[in-house]
Amino acid sequence: MAVDPRQVLAGFLTLTMFAMLGNMIKRDHFDSVDVNQSNVPNVPYDDVKSEHSLVTFPKGSNGPWKEDGLDLKPCWTTPNLDEAQQSEGFITFSLTNGPEYHVSQIADAVVVARYLGATLVLPDIRGSNPGDKRNFEDIYDVEKFLKSLDGVVRVTKDQPAEISARNLAVVRVPNRVTEDHIQENIEPIFRKGNIRLATYFPSVNMRKTTQKSNSDSVACLAMFGTLELQPEVREVVDSMVERLRALSRKSDGQFIAVDLRVDILEKKGCQGSGTHGMKSCYSPQEVALFLRNIGFDKDTTVYLTQSRWDGSLDALKDFFPKTYTKEGIMPVDKKDKFLNSEASEFEKVIDFYMCSQSDVFVPALSGLFYANVAGKRIASGRSQILVPADISGSKAPAADFISPYISKKNHLAYSCFC
């Protein structure tokens, strides 16, 4: 039976038309979600999750983005437990105030335990509010922690029954504790019995020093090689990063993380704008002007560490419609546990790791959070950290605002990685 060429052509055109229509529907659905997201701070997570595979990122995206550098390699050598004199004593401590403190508290505790030959008791985690107490494994990977310190210091998961708060001497430890301080101020107390460490922070200085110590390798390992998120928290962070990359299709999947928390800005008096000298914090409007004037366009996706939307953030959203807080991008089924609970520790940890993984990090607030996020980013080659400045009304290259931690390579992390 002969086939009419006109029927073949008609069938081909029909199939082509349906294929084009299908692609238009898919694209329009994603675009409509994109538009809605730029106008509403909180949109159900599942609205875009299924469309992630449809996103294709353009080459040569707008804005002063730059590719990550190469991952650095650890320079430290893992010390041997046999090299340290062992004792029968125990050291306890708690992690407090957020992950930017946890990094330092772990390092100080490990350095002290190593020097004294003591057994370290796995810490608990205490938040800012009374009664906000969690187990280490609620946030961090216990097995990773134990494995990383195997052969360096002895660690026990549980506090021995004979140890109680009544027979523990509390010892204050300055951040970045030195061997001389341990010998003079801690060892004499430890000889009398078990101790509990309480780290305090005389400064937030995380710059590297020229002074060398036998404990440098131990401190580097503890600070950069021990803490990893437990799987469920890691999954939440990964899903939020994936969400932001899906929403950033016009920026090649890249996004900016800004450490900007309204309650802290209000306490520091950063809400106003105007002519400033050296500042320790910047308002939403100042951050918006800064990002615009160094070349980021309105399609740039911005993540804020502020947990819930606040009216003062509208000034930033006016410049960058794709501005989100945790409540807008966290998976719906995770909000009760990680966002709507009374415990703030989860929120702080999520922010710390979001800022560590973003393509650009902008610290609108100075302090230890900025310093320790910078250290984590240096270790992974994410060197685009831009420190805001008052450049309203003018244009300036982003390279002029690279963090001194990066441009001068004066962060402590550069002593640990090479």
Q: Which residue has the higher pLDDT, 302 or 272?
A: 302
- Helix and strand element counts for the chain (H, E): 17, 11
Tens of pLDDT, residue by residue over 41-53, are 332 222 223 222 2
Tens of pLDDT, residue by residue over 137-149, are 999 999 999 999 9
Looking at the chain, the whole-number percentage of residues with pLDDT higher than 90 is: 58
User: Where in the chain are the domains?
Assistant: 44-70+230-416, 81-212
CATH architecture assigned to 44-70+230-416: 3-Layer(aba) Sandwich (3.40)
| Residue 140 CB coordination number (10 Å) | 24
Q: What's the confidence (pLDDT) of residue 294?
A: 95
Looking at the chain, the whole-number percentage of residues with pLDDT higher than 70 is: 80
| pLDDT beyond 80 at 78 | no
Q: What's the confidence (pLDDT) of residue 29?
A: 26
The pLDDT-based confidence of 72 (bands split at 50, 70, 90) is confident
Contacts of 68 (CB under 8 A, 6+ apart): 359, 380, 381, 382, 383, 384
Q: Which helix (H) or strand (E) holds 25?
A: helix 5-39
What is the rounded average pLDDT of the residues 263-281?
64
Any idea of the CA torsion for 108, 110, 116, 122, to the nearest 10 degrees? 120
| Residue 50 CB coordination number (10 Å) | 9
The pLDDT-based confidence of 164 (bands split at 50, 70, 90) is confident
Contacts of 141 (CB under 8 A, 6+ apart): 228, 229, 230, 231
- Supply 172's token pair: 């204050």
What is the rounded average pLDDT of the residues 23-32?
30
The pLDDT-based confidence of 270 (bands split at 50, 70, 90) is low
Q: What's the confidence (pLDDT) of residue 206?
A: 86
Q: What's the confidence (pLDDT) of residue 4?
A: 55
Q: What's the confidence (pLDDT) of residue 269?
A: 61
pTM reported for the whole predicted model: 0.81
Q: Which helix (H) or strand (E) holds 91?
A: strand 90-96
What is the rounded average pLDDT of the residues 200-217?
82
Tens of pLDDT, residue by residue over 358-395, are 999 999 999 999 999 999 999 999 999 999 998 877 88
What is the rounded average pLDDT of the residues 389-404?
88
Taken as a whole, the chain contains a residue count of 418
The pLDDT-based confidence of 300 (bands split at 50, 70, 90) is very high
- Supply 10's token pair: 């008609």
| pLDDT beyond 80 at 407 | yes
Determine the 3-state secondary structure of 212 from DSSP: coil
Buried b or exposed e, range 222-261, using 16+ CB within 10 angstroms: bbbbbbbbbeebeebbebbbebbbbbbbbbbbbbbbbbbb
Task: Report the C-alpha gap between 218 and 94 in whole angstroms.
Answer: 19
